[in-house]
Amino acid sequence: MRAAVVQTNPRLGDVAGNLATCIARIQAGADAGCDLLVFPECALSGYMFTDAETAMRFAEPVPGPSTDALAAACARTGVHCVIGLLERDGDRLRNTAALIGPDGLIGRYRKSHVACVGVDCFTVPGDDAYEAFDTPIGRIGIQICYDWRFPEVTRILALQGADVIAHPTNSPSQAREIAEFITRARAAENAVFFLTANRCGDEGGVSFFGWSQIVDPLGRRFAEAGADEALVVADLDLELARAKTKEPGDGPYSVRLFADRRPELYEPLLHHEGVRT
Q: CB 229: neighbour CB atoms within 10 A?
A: 16
Has 41 been annotated as catalytic? yes
Has 111 been annotated as catalytic? yes
User: Amino acid identity of 186?
Assistant: R
Give per-residue burial for 12-43: e unless 16+ CB within 10 Å, then b.
Answer: beebeebbebbbebbebbbeeebbbbbbbbbb
Q: How far apart are CA 146 and CA 110, in angstroms?
A: 12
User: What is the H or E stretch that residue 7 is in?
Assistant: strand 2-7
Paired with 208 in beta bridges are 172, 201
Catalytic residue among 22, 74, 81, 111, which? 111
Give which of 37, 3, 2, 1 is closest to 22, Cα–Cα. Answer: 37
Has 87 been annotated as catalytic? no
Pair 193, 166: CB distance under 8 Å: no
Catalytic residue among 145, 203, 224, 244, which? 145
Q: How far apart are CA 85 and CA 77, in angstroms?
A: 21
130: buried, middle or exposed (CB in 10 Å: 19+, 13-18, 0-12)? buried
Pair 9, 210: CB distance under 8 Å: no
Distances (CA, A) of 51 to 111, 145, 192: 19, 20, 37
> Mind telling me the catalytic residues?
41, 111, 145
